[in-house]
Each structure stands twice: as C-alpha cells, then as structure tokens.
Amino acid sequence: MNILVTGATGFVGHHIVRHLAKQMAADASDGEVVAVTRRTPEPNLAIKGVRWIRISDLGPDTDWRSALDGVDAIVHCAGVAQVSAHPTEDELQVLHSVNVAGTRQLATAAVEHGVERLVFLSSLKVHGETTTGRAPFSTDDVPAPQDAYGRSKLAAEASLMEVADRGDLSVVVLRPPLVYGEGVQGNFRALLRAVQLGVPLPFGRVRNNRRSLIYVGNLVGAIWAALTMPRPSEAPIRCTTTVSDADDLSTAALLEALAQASHQLPLLVPVPQRAMRWAAQALDRTAVADRLLGSLQVNPNDMQRLLGFQPIFSASEGIWRTVRCGLTTR
C-alpha cells in the first residue's frame, strides 16, 4: 500500500510518516510513504521507505497529479491551525483557502486518480470548546464549532464527503483533542517548561475538571486502524469519530504527572478558581482560563465502536514518553 501524507514535516505529520514507514517495514510491505512538504526536504529527514515530494502550496489550485500517481491511500493532516481570536478578513480567506478549498481539491484529485481511502485529521473543535456541565462530546452530537478554525474544519469535512460521494473514495474523519508527544510545542510545552523550572502554579484546587488528550502514539495508532479497517463490499466507508487516550485528567493531575515524569515535585498553589477567573478576565485571558479550569471530554467508546481501536498507551505512559524522549526546558 502506497500512502501519501500531507503536512509531513509538522509535529503530527512527522510522527505519522515515521510510524507508517516502520509499520510497512515490519509487515515486509513493498509499499512506500509519499511525504508531502512545502519546502525542499532537508537531508536529516531521510527515512527508509519514504519518498519526499515538494508541493509549494495547499489550496484550491494545487496540482496533485505527480504526487498521487500510484497512491492507494491519503492521510491529510496539513492545514492552517494558528488563528487569532479575532481573525481579520485576510486571515479568514487564508483559512478557507487552505483548510476548506485545499481539502476539496485534494479529495477531487484523489477521486480522479482512483485513490481508495482518505483519512482526514479534523479537530475536536468541530464540537465546541467545553463540556463543563454536560456529557462528553460524542460523534453523534450535532457539531457546534465556536471559532473560525473549528468552523473551517467542519466545512472541510462536509466538502470532503461531498466530493467522495461522486466516486468510490472511502473517507475516515478523526476528531482529536489536544495532541501531545515528543516534539510538542504550544501550551503543552509551556506547562512542561514551567513545571521543570519549578515555577509555582495556581492550580492546586483545579481537580474537578476533566480534559481529554491524545498522545501522538495513540493518534498514529488510530490512523493506522483507519487505514486498514475492512471496507464493506457494497459501499465505500463513511466514518467520523472522536479519538483520545481514554484517560481524562484534571489540570492538577496533568501537572503532577508532568512533574513526576520530570523527577520533580509539583509546586501547585491552592488558589480559588473564582480569583483566577477574575484575574483572567482583567488580563483578557478568559479563553485560556476556560481551557485550564473547565472540562473538555470526548466519549472514549466512539473510537472502539467505529474504528475498532483502543489506545495503545495510557496517558501516564504517553506523558512519560513525552518528557523522557528529549523534551526539555531548552
């Protein structure tokens, strides 16, 4: 099986490429991974069983013909993820061009080239921003994205399914929460750095919230399950599911796990949550406070029911691997 991976040099894409190449080698497969990057691949990216292709841009006019020759399946994880809280018209245009029109163009090319399956990495943001006071999000819930990024992912899903229905393309959509693992950046890395530096953190009382996360090793396992799940003989696959570690953590429990993996004592100060929310509002950081103090969970049964997949790594093992495999304060 020849598999094309978009966004191959990103945090998630890099792990996907390495995992697929390793899986094919273990299976003694004669297939290859076609890794797509916007820049000329650097020599240190050379991986046995991986062929790199440079695609300068992702959008409604991208020419996929050379990249898709002989490809059986696609893992599409490229896209614009960093969007300001109040995006400008130009930002919204780029978001639509890449995430929505770019996905449609790739799906159209896949149908034209007879690609059998496309796995799309969407986002839990399709469902919303919080499950505080309600049941965990389930795949069967009506989507309710709250920001421009979430709306772009939902529109991309709809566009992808519409194009796939024109041909025989199977589609599996995965909606992950925050992804962490070796090489992670952003808020997860910032929390880890604070723990490793011994910074006192005001989350000692934040023990009743629950956040679903997914270790990148579990995510690539779910992607492999999506690529290899049997297809019904009568029709192509149409599957959409949330994915997670299935071990939801409070903010305090997450910080304690990071500290334990770093062989440090967590410095968690028991600040009342009401005081933290007041401070966040004064500093215009309400959204950050919502993420740290509120809940955002998914139903862990969906991926088992729809993909036949159970997490390979527990959350504690995923956190340990993230910390111990080179992610330090530098």
Q: Could you list the active site residues?
A: 149
For residue 11, what is the enclosing H or E element?
A: helix 11-26
Helix (H, G, I), strand (E, B) or coil at 76: strand
Q: Which residues are CB-neighbours of 204 under 8 A, at least 6 positions away?
A: 252, 268, 269, 270, 271
How many CB atoms within 10 Å of residue 162?
Answer: 11
The answer to whether residues 219 and 175 touch, using CB atoms and an 8 Å cutoff, is: no
How many CB atoms within 10 Å of residue 230?
Answer: 7
- Residue 118 φ then ψ, to 5°: -130, 125
- Burial class, 299, CB count within 10 angstroms (exposed 0-12 / middle 13-18 / buried 19+): buried
